[in-house]
Amino acid sequence: MDVTSSELVFDFPFFIRAYKDGRIERLIGTDVVPPSTNPVTGVQSKDVVLVPETGLSVRLYLPKTAADPGHKLPLLLYFHGGGFCIETASSPTYHNYLNSLVDEAKVVVVSVDYRRAPEYPLPVAYDDSWAAVKWAASHSAGGGPEMWLNDYVDFDRVFFAGDSAGGNIAHNMALRIGSEGINGIKVVGMVLIHPFFWGKDPIGVPDQGDGGAPPSGLADKLWMFVCPTSSGSDDPLINPVKDPKFGSLGCVKVLVCVAEKDSLRDRGRYYCEELGKSGWRGTAEIMEAAGENHVFHLFSPATDNAVAMLKRVASFINDEGNS
């Protein structure tokens, strides 16, 4: 055996390892669960392949209250986290969270199973996510291939959301909506949960301790690992305030959720503050969970803070006054 085959070229402890021979070892986020009808909430889910050539797929969720096709519901496009390189839309972590969110918010969800780095380095995840957005929009006139979207979705009430790397993707999708536009849908708002944004210059306190997100030096390395063609940590894809188009975000309201012990907390706050100064004509609000770590709600969904955030996200989606 060639000893170089076991040589590490990238190591994110307890997360992912890449070896010189091309092997990728994902240390978490590899479990999957099938779609189902949840016995407690009645939420139904199913998987749909959008692009057979690449394997791009989505997991759809439909609340029990969608029994009447004449009662249209908001649509949420959700982008999972995992540093762009672990987890999937069929992970039990995300399946359970979205079952709860769909039941609480009474919303139809399209959870995007984008291709992951390093096998498919960025911008592949962004391209896959945009393809999923366009696929969802293709149902706006009622003639798309997926009956759940044709029958139950109000395309004037579309939302984007995601956590960590998924929050980053959600932002970039909303920015693309604002700069390029898309026919058939109105993106009302966006929820960014502990979004993975970064930059060369420190913001606030750069490290909050062991909060679950990468510390500053490793965040820089992780970004270049998943996006090797990037110019670095001030690339607008990871540091959105550097983007000249930042103020053209294509929605009218934003909720940014941060956690007190998360090393990404101050980036989330900074994003919210700078958005208010950018000329964007919308409203941005922030919710902070005291004493919590990065994506705590996924691992401890029954805690008071996790329940409070779930209800806040549901309320944000269903607040007709700001849509």
The residues annotated with a catalytic role in the active site are: 164, 262, 294
Please tell me the distance from the alpha carbon of residue 211 to that of residue 294, in angstroms, as a whole number: 6
Please tell me the distance from the alpha carbon of residue 162 to that of residue 193, in angstroms, as a whole number: 6
Rounded (5°) CA angle 45-127-250:
85
Tokens of 313: 């996200």
Q: Which of 259, 302, 299 is nearest to 91 (CA)?
A: 299
CB 89 within 8 A of CB 31: no
The DSSP annotation for 215-249 comes to: PHHHHHHHHHHH-TTS--TTSTTTSGGG-TTGGG-
CB 98 within 8 A of CB 110: no
Neighbours of 2 (CB within 10 A): 8
Burial of 145 (0-12, 13-18, 19+ CB in 10 A): exposed
Peptide bond into 118 cis (omega under 30): yes
Give the H/E segment covering residue 152. helix 147-152
DSSP classification of residue 107: -
CB 155 within 8 A of CB 109: no
